[in-house]
Amino acid sequence: MWDKKVVAQAIVMLVISGTARADMAFKHQSGVRLFQHYAQASCLASAYAEGEFYDQAVSALNGYREFGDMPLEAYEALIEPIQYWLQKDYATKAGTQNNLMKCIDFSES
């Protein structure tokens, strides 16, 4: 019969190994997927130009660019389409613009 301590240690090891893989999952995504994430983070940084959300978006886009393999021109080419998408009318029922939805839709387009 299994000792409770051995079973507990095995469970802890499984959880730790799963967490380690999850922590590094973005590093193993395809270049195209990293580029899509970069586009979304870049859109969010453009839409929310200050504060903690902006800082997090900039940090994310830099990380995606660091691990991506697209040429610099591909990243630069996103500037105009992002500005175009942010000008789209995504009005809520309350009349405010939903920039988060714009950026999600942009990155999926």
* Cα-based angle 44, 49, 56 (whole degrees, multiple of 5): 55
Q: Which domain holds residue 38?
A: 30-108
Q: 60 or 15, which is more confident?
A: 60
Q: 89 or 17, which is more confident?
A: 89
Q: Residue 27: pLDDT band by 50, 70, 90 thresholds?
A: low
pLDDT at position 31 is 80
Q: How far apart are CA 8 and CA 73, in angstroms?
A: 51
Q: How far apart are CA 40 and CA 61, in angstroms?
A: 8
The pTM (predicted TM-score) of the whole model is: 0.73
Residue 45 maps to which CATH number?
A: 1.20.120.1620
Does 45 map to a domain? yes
Does 10 map to a domain? no
Residue 91 pairs in a beta bridge with: 97
Task: Look at residue 21 and tell me whether its pLDDT is greater than 80.
Answer: no
